[in-house]
Structures are given as structure tokens and as C-alpha cells.
Amino acid sequence: MNNRSDPQPLLVDRTGEALSSGPISQLNPANDWPPVTITGEMINQEIERLADLPRPANGRRQVMFTHPSAPNPGRGLTPGVQVTLEVLKPGEETTPIRHNSTQVNFCILGEGEVVVDDRSIAYSRYDVWNHPSYVIYRHHNNSSKLHARLTYSNAALLEMMRVHLIDEDPPLESSVKGANTDPEPKAGITPPVKQIGDDGASLMPYETLINPPSVESNTLHWPWQTVKANLDELGELDSSYVGRRLYLLFNPLTQRFNGTTPNFFATITIRPPGITDRPHRHVSSAINYYFKGSGYSRVEGKRYNWKAGDLMVSAPGWAVHNHASDDGDPVYELTVQDQPLNIYMESLLWQEDLAKPGKILGAHQGFTTNLKKFAG
């Protein structure tokens, strides 16, 4: 029996209650989590402000970009993705840190070096790299110029779950990959998984539950110059192409869930001048950072202009949206979506053509483009 001083649960009778306020075609999620833009001017001001501060003890000069609708804990730019801006002055280095959130980093100014577990990566402007969970890392600006980068992580989701675990300045020998706390594990009994039905229903023993097959999660690096060379080939597709000219920065660890991390993907898109995408929508939410060119997004009928240097929540989950590039320079953009998580949860409803039904990507057969027309 619970003590009277313990929190008491709420019992909500939903007998006969409609679970939705109407057909999904009439919902407008953008009302609850509308698009927001952190302009390039705002970002530059923050870079200057952070650079003017005295060096903090841990070396991390950071500001977090948080959506006004975000809860606390759970301070994200979208419900599942937290975005921070970090600045390092020449010669500065951060203290080591590790956490159970995963990250994607994007260099927007200068250059630097990061040591993630046992790998050192020298990066330049517009390079992308990932940090696996609970590995020790530290950043170093070994150049003569100011460095700034955007970091995307699933910390917001873990904060909402109250399980974001952070280890400040851990001893380097405590790295998960480097540690070997049980060099000679004792042999144990692992009973087999038992299939108990013709439909595949099975029973897994506890011994397997607490020791699942491990898959190595590595730090990967996507240099901008290599990515751009491949991307520019897509930019040569003419306006009759009906897909989106992008590459996913793919981490093979995520397999069929199409991720840069297990939680979200990062894609880099090229939009030739004067290209307008057709309206579509998906359960995954999207954050765009535009680093060249200009254009606009239309979200639930409202137009939002953007330009190089702007960071924008451009597609709240299930909001109808499309993007267009202005005449002039081509657009390059980094997009982060929590698609892999939704594929794994079988929740990624995607409507590529608003005149046709949506599909659960990863569970249903997906969509095709007319790329074959341009092949050969």
C-alpha cells in the first residue's frame, strides 16, 4: 500500500472518447510547435558574445537554441533534437566529457580537431562527424582563427525521459571502448530462444536479454569537399526531376533505419536556382541549416523566407510543407530529422504526394522517383 505522502496517480476515464479531434488531414501540428528561425545575424552575434567571455573552466563556450514550445527538461529545437552552438578561440581546448546521448557535429566557422575515444579527426568548414554514445571526447582549436560548430543530439529526448547521463571530465582510461573490466568473463549458461507459435512468437531467456549481440558504434567523418563533389552531380538534374537532390550522411550501424545516428539522420541537399519542391509531409520533424543561397519554405500555407546562415525548424512533425530556392546561387543545406527513430517505432507515416495515402516507411513499400529517366 502506498504511503499517503507518495505522489498519487491520476485516473482518466476515456470511455467512448474520440481519440482524435478529427481526420489526420485536418490536423495542424504546426500550431503546437510552429516553425522558428535563428537567423544568421543572431548566430553571428552569439559567436561574438561567446568569444568575448572569459574561458570557462571546462572550455565549453556554448549556447543552446531552444524552441519556445519545448518543455524543461526536454529543451529541444524539435521535440527529439537538441541543438547547441559552441565556440573555441585559437589554442583553446575543452575538457573531456562523455554522455549517453549521441551527436552530429557540423563546423560552420574555422576549423579544429576532435578526439573521440581513440580517433582524432581534423575538420574544416562544413565537415560533419558523429559521436557515439558514452565515448570520451574533447575539442581543440589548433588554428589561428575562431572556430564555431553546431551540435545536434538526442539529449532533449533523454532529458524528457529523465535519463540523460553526463560524466564531466572522466579519466581517459574509463572509455567504454578502451575499458576491459572483465578480461576473462566466466562462462555462463545461455538458454536458446524458444519459438512457441507458428507466427514467430518466441520466449527469450533473461541471460540473452541482458547480453544482446553488440554492434560496434564508430565515429565517422564526412568531409565537405568530398560530399560536395558528389552533391554537385545531383545539382545537374533538371527541373523535371521529382525527387530531392540530397545525400544522407549514412552510418552503416543504423542499417535499414537510414540514420547518421540511431536517433536521427543528417542529409545535405543542393537546390539549383528556381526549384520548388512539391508539398509533402511526414511524422519526423526537420531542422534546416542553410549555408549557401536563399529561398523560402511554405509550412501549412504560411511562407517563411530564409537565407545563408539561417537555422530553421522548417517542418514540424506532420505539417504540410515544401521548399523553394530563389534565382541566383544554388542552395546548400544541412537537414536533421528524427526519421530513424520513427522508422524503428513503426511511426513514420510519410505522405510524398498529398493526393495519395501516406505510408509507414520501413513497414510499407516506400516511394520511387523518376531518376531512371536520367540514368545512362
Domain shared by 149 and 246, yes or no: no
Domain shared by 165 and 85, yes or no: yes
Domain shared by 324 and 238, yes or no: yes
Amino acid identity for residue 176 in this structure: V
Give the chain's domain count. Answer: 2
The DSSP call for residue 368 is: -
For every residue of 170-224, DSSP letters joined together read --GGG-TTT--S-SSPPP---PPPEE-STT--EE--HHHHTSPPP------EE-H
Task: Out of 174, 189, 204, pick the residue that ends a domain.
Answer: 174
Domain shared by 59 and 137, yes or no: yes
Domain membership flag for residue 190: no
301-310 long-range Cβ contacts below 8 angstroms, 24+ apart: 302/35, 304/35, 304/37, 306/37, 307/40, 308/40, 309/39, 309/40, 309/41, 309/43, 309/44, 310/37, 310/38, 310/39, 310/40
The answer to whether the beta carbons of residues 90 and 70 sit under 8 Å apart is: no
What is the distance between the alpha carbons of residues 141 and 111, in angstroms, rounded to a whole number?
Answer: 7
Domain membership flag for residue 13: no
Strands 311-315 and 119-123: unpaired
The answer to whether the beta carbons of residues 35 and 312 sit under 8 Å apart is: yes
Domain shared by 140 and 265, yes or no: no
Domain shared by 354 and 252, yes or no: yes
What is residue 185's predicted lDDT score, i.e. its pLDDT?
59
Per-residue pLDDT of the chain (376 residues; tens, 9 = 90+): 567 788 888 998 989 887 766 666 566 667 889 999 999 999 999 999 999 999 999 999 999 999 999 999 999 999 999 999 999 999 999 999 999 999 999 999 999 999 999 899 999 999 999 999 999 999 999 999 999 999 999 999 999 999 999 999 998 776 655 555 555 556 678 889 999 999 999 999 999 999 998 899 999 999 999 999 999 999 898 888 888 999 999 999 999 999 999 999 999 999 999 999 999 999 999 999 999 999 999 999 999 999 999 999 999 999 999 999 999 999 999 999 999 999 999 999 999 999 999 999 999 999 998 888 887 6
Domain membership flag for residue 32: no
What is the distance between the alpha carbons of residues 86 and 107, in angstroms, rounded to a whole number?
Answer: 10
Domain membership flag for residue 216: no
Side-by-side strand order, sheet with 359-360: 281-282, 349-351, 359-360
What is residue 6's predicted lDDT score, i.e. its pLDDT?
87
Domain membership flag for residue 360: yes
Q: What is the dihedral of CA 101, 102, 108, 112, to 10 degrees?
A: 100
Domain span holding position 331: 221-364
The answer to whether the beta carbons of residues 291 and 108 sit under 8 Å apart is: yes
Element (H, E) at 249: none
**pTM > 0.75: yes or no:** yes
What is residue 225's predicted lDDT score, i.e. its pLDDT?
97
Residue 89 CB contacts under 8 Å (≥ 6 apart), including other chains: 51, 55, 61, 141, 146, 147
Domain membership flag for residue 197: no
CATH code of the domain containing 290? 2.60.120.10
Domain shared by 245 and 340, yes or no: yes
Domain shared by 239 and 148, yes or no: no
What is the distance between the alpha carbons of residues 152 and 20, in angstroms, rounded to a whole number?
Answer: 32
221-230 long-range Cβ contacts below 8 angstroms, 24+ apart: 221/121, 221/123, 221/127, 221/128, 221/129, 222/127, 222/128, 222/129, 222/249, 223/123, 223/124, 223/127, 224/124, 224/125, 224/126, 224/127, 224/128, 227/128, 227/268, 228/126, 228/332
Domain shared by 142 and 245, yes or no: no
Domain shared by 235 and 156, yes or no: no
Domain membership flag for residue 214: no
Task: Out of 174, 206, 233, pick the residue that ends a domain.
Answer: 174
Domain membership flag for residue 278: yes
What is residue 42's predicted lDDT score, i.e. its pLDDT?
98
Task: Out of 156, 174, 192, pick the residue that ends a domain.
Answer: 174
Domain shared by 138 and 249, yes or no: no
The values of phi and psi at residue 271, to 5°, are -120, 110
What is the distance between the alpha carbons of residues 171 and 259, in angstroms, rounded to a whole number?
Answer: 30
Element (H, E) at 294: strand 294-299
Domain shared by 248 and 349, yes or no: yes
The answer to whether the beta carbons of residues 89 and 51 sit under 8 Å apart is: yes
